[in-house]
Amino acid sequence: MKGMRGTLGYIAPELFSRNFGNVSPKSDVYSYGMMVLEMVGGRKNVLFPHWIYKRVELDEEIGFHGITNEEEKGIVRKMIIASLWCIQTNPASRPSMNRVVDMLEGSLESLQVPPKPFLVFSLGITSRFSNQRKK
């Protein structure tokens, strides 16, 4: 692709390598998911997907500031789970935007945590990120 543009972290993997699939509307779904994760978490997305995925997978408290009641926690959790589906490495595994809207409007109980995306960072990066959060 000639003249590809975008912000690092929001660009879908298939824009870098055709090994991940073809560029399609699902490429925009990936960018949307990363944007929502950054909005929900209030931090840059480079290390955040791994951190949040681990918390959701283990059903741990996420602990965002300003979330005051169970209803708000449920809304945030829905946004996170929908976003994790959006950032799946394989474009075929990502939902359509219509499906994303259905997830956000539906019940939290109907959502499943997706498989961990291949490109989500792990190991030493996570502990460094966790230490930064505590400061």
**Spans in the chain with pLDDT lower than 50:** 121-135
pTM equals 0.75
pLDDT at 78 (0 to 100)? 93
Q: What is the 3-state secondary structure (H, E, C) of 35-53?
A: HHHHHHHCCCCCCHHHHHH
Contact between 91 and 14 under an 8 Å Cβ cutoff? The reply is yes
Distance of CA 86 to the CA centre of its chain: 6
Fold adopted by 24-128 = Transferase(Phosphotransferase); domain 1 (1.10.510)
pLDDT at 125 (0 to 100)? 39
pLDDT at 11 (0 to 100)? 80
pLDDT at 47 (0 to 100)? 61
